[in-house]
Amino acid sequence: MAEAPAVSVVIPTYRSGPGLDRAIASLDAQTMPQDGIEVLLLDDGSPDDTADRIERIASGRANYRAFALEASGWPSRPRNIGVREARGRYVLFMDHDDELYPDALRAAVTLGDRSGDGSGDGSGADVVNGKEVRTQVARWGLTHYTHDTGDARDEPLRGLLPMTPHKLYRREFLLANDIRFPEAPRHLWEDIFFQVELIEHEPVVALLSSTPFYHWRHTGENSSTTAEGERDYRGTPDYWPYLEKLLGRITEVRDPGLRVPLLAHTAHVRLVPEIGHRPTGRAASEIARDRAEIERLVAAYVPPDVDELLPARSRVALTLFRAGEAEAAADFLRDGIGRRPEYTVTAVEDTGDGAVRVTGTVAWTRVLGQPFARRTADGRVVRDLPEPLAGLLAERGLTPSADVGDAFVDVAIRHAPTRVNWLLPSTSRVELVEQEDGTLEPAGRFTATFDPRTAAMGNPLPPGAHLVLGMCELDGRTGIKRAFSDLPAGTQVGPVGLDYSAHDGLLLRVPAAEPPARKGLLKRLRRN
């Protein structure tokens, strides 16, 4: 009897376009031997030739199986069937238009097997959360994937953030605890419901950050769902019913150490932003309806003990909203929304030991008629907020500080061909600078130093162009943008070359490393 594969990749398909070829190509390119990988392609009743297409794909590969299912309308049922039919120790749920990085499965299985009790017999981690990248969201996962660990229980939500299903799950753990995706013709956030059920059983989660794992592609191919529409579901008729269903499910989690952080995360990501959402052209009746829904959900599912786990901006907005000041809460959430960071690299220097130092400045665009801070008559520096918001905040002792001592800038580089980000060791300082009109605006400087041979968490950076990104936090807002520069393109600074694009900003070009074996061969040739 053939040995069971290490990992089963479960891919629901529906009217799959060219993205499926890309997903298959990324599986073919894995460094893990193909006999350690099983791929299950499950077509959810596509009305086109997708079922025949996956059958052709599977017929040419011994480790593939194709399933033609009756239409269910959502990826949940194909995923559940995939878990049932899988033979691997681990299961990976992959969308039909995404791709894996070449060393993803080998690195994830190795870490998973060595985690937990460390026996290496497959009884290690229950989940391996590998470094995930999104095509058009540079900040996605950047602050979550900062280190490797075999047990992430001390990380936020036990290391399961971001809460997408693109992780390695130990199949026996899913089966033993009957963890399934909720099935319905349309079921919003089915992956979040799955993760809530998973976290209830306190899985051992390994965090893999040093090896790029999953590329969540942004395409027009309707990734992850057989229904048309945007994945955030905002403005759809079932947004509020499903948000209530999700909050209700979370309140069933018995352990408060899990329940309260889950409620805080959901409120911060999906509920609080709706308080400040003011779409143009929206009818007053619709705005009133949404506010009534928010008020009802906050009262029923977001008790005050959740507030202490919320970021300050969300916490203040909820306090105002509970006090009946919905307009003020919306104003507070939108305060400074036009204050965006602009990063400028002023110097790129060779440190002399193979590393590169990047120095630059950050300034925030001014908001017309609303300075960041001002001096009072008695010389105090205070935030400049409009009325009646300023007065309402002062009454409740909630006025945000004008102190920018906690503001910071991190520096990252993003490999343009693969979109993989790496945070760099950096230092920064942000201060308030007096303007000509006497008001005060934030501005800062940053420095990052990196060695291309080790900057990818101890590994070499891949060759090619790397965008320089600044990521700052100021006044409860995080902003990541590409850095621009007036430095001359074509300059070589130590191991990297400088390039420039009007769209991408400053690019650092890393040369391909010469293979060690070739170096030895060249030395021998020179001797001869």
DSSP string covering 3-35, please?
A: PPPSEEEEEEESS--THHHHHHHHHHT-SS-GG
pTM: 0.91
- Taking the C-alpha atoms of residue 146 and residue 142, their distance in angstroms, rounded to an integer, is 7
Q: Percentage of the chain with pLDDT > 70?
A: 93
Please give the structure tokens belonging to residue 101.
């990085």
- Report the DSSP beta bridge partners of residue 444: 362, 430
Contact 501, 414 (CB under 8 A): no
Amino acid letter, 245: K
Amino acid letter, 431: E
- The band of 368, judged by pLDDT with boundaries at 50, 70 and 90, is confident
Contact 268, 298 (CB under 8 A): no
> Which residues neighbour 141 within 8 Å (Cβ) at sequence distance 6 or greater?
131, 132, 133, 134, 161, 162
Which DSSP symbol is given to 370?
B
- Taking the C-alpha atoms of residue 335 and residue 399, their distance in angstroms, rounded to an integer, is 12
Q: Is 190 helix (H, G, I), strand (E, B) or coil?
A: helix
Amino acid letter, 491: T
For the chain, domains (ranges, CATH) are: 7-216 (3.90.550.10), 255-334 (no CATH), 341-369+404-510 (2.60.40)
Look at residue 120 and tell me whether its pLDDT is greater than 50.
no
Compute the average pLDDT of residues 49-58. Answer: 96
479-504 per-position pLDDT tens digit? 899 999 999 999 999 999 999 988 88
Task: Kindly report the average pLDDT of the chain as a whole number.
Answer: 91
Q: Is 405 helix (H, G, I), strand (E, B) or coil?
A: coil
Contact 419, 133 (CB under 8 A): yes
Look at residue 224 and tell me whether its pLDDT is greater than 70.
no
Look at residue 162 and tell me whether its pLDDT is greater than 60.
yes
Look at residue 28 and tell me whether its pLDDT is greater than 70.
yes
Compute the average pLDDT of residues 15-32. Answer: 96
Task: Tell me the HSE value of 179 on the side-chain side, using a 13 A CA sphere.
Answer: 25
- The band of 256, judged by pLDDT with boundaries at 50, 70 and 90, is very high
Look at residue 164 and tell me whether its pLDDT is greater than 60.
yes
Contact 499, 507 (CB under 8 A): yes
Quick one: pLDDT at residue 219? 61
Look at residue 228 and tell me whether its pLDDT is greater than 60.
no
- The band of 515, judged by pLDDT with boundaries at 50, 70 and 90, is low
CA Rg, the chain, in Å? 25
Compute the average pLDDT of residues 63-72. Answer: 97
- The band of 520, judged by pLDDT with boundaries at 50, 70 and 90, is very low
- Taking the C-alpha atoms of residue 167 and residue 125, their distance in angstroms, rounded to an integer, is 12
Quick one: pLDDT at residue 285? 86
Q: Is 497 helix (H, G, I), strand (E, B) or coil?
A: strand
Compute the average pLDDT of residues 511-527. Answer: 51
- The band of 430, judged by pLDDT with boundaries at 50, 70 and 90, is very high
- The band of 523, judged by pLDDT with boundaries at 50, 70 and 90, is very low
Please give the structure tokens belonging to residue 106.
């080998």
The helix-helix angle for 190-200 and 256-266 (nearest 10°) equals 160
Quick one: pLDDT at residue 526? 41
Backbone angles phi, psi at 44, to 5 degrees: -95, 60
Query: Among the listed ranges 130-134, 250-254, 269-273, 365-369, which one has the minimum average pLDDT value?
Result: 365-369
The helix-helix angle for 239-251 and 256-266 (nearest 10°) equals 160
Quick one: pLDDT at residue 137? 86
370-400 per-position pLDDT tens digit? 899 999 999 999 999 999 999 999 999 999 9
- The band of 283, judged by pLDDT with boundaries at 50, 70 and 90, is confident
Contact 217, 99 (CB under 8 A): yes
Look at residue 65 and tell me whether its pLDDT is greater than 60.
yes
Contact 450, 203 (CB under 8 A): no
Quick one: pLDDT at residue 221? 47
Compute the average pLDDT of residues 293-306. Answer: 95
Contact 345, 486 (CB under 8 A): no
Compute the average pLDDT of residues 16-30. Answer: 95
- Taking the C-alpha atoms of residue 423 and residue 412, their distance in angstroms, rounded to an integer, is 4
Length of the chain: 528
The better pLDDT of the pair 120, 466 is held by: 466
- Taking the C-alpha atoms of residue 424 and residue 298, their distance in angstroms, rounded to an integer, is 39
- Taking the C-alpha atoms of residue 289 and residue 235, their distance in angstroms, rounded to an integer, is 12
Quick one: pLDDT at residue 235? 79
Look at residue 230 and tell me whether its pLDDT is greater than 80.
no
- Taking the C-alpha atoms of residue 104 and residue 109, their distance in angstroms, rounded to an integer, is 9
> Which residues neighbour 419 within 8 Å (Cβ) at sequence distance 6 or greater?
133, 134, 135, 138, 215
Would you say the C-alpha torsion 294, 299, 301, 302 has a positive or negative sign?
A: positive
Longest Cα–Cα distance in the chain: 86
The better pLDDT of the pair 294, 138 is held by: 294
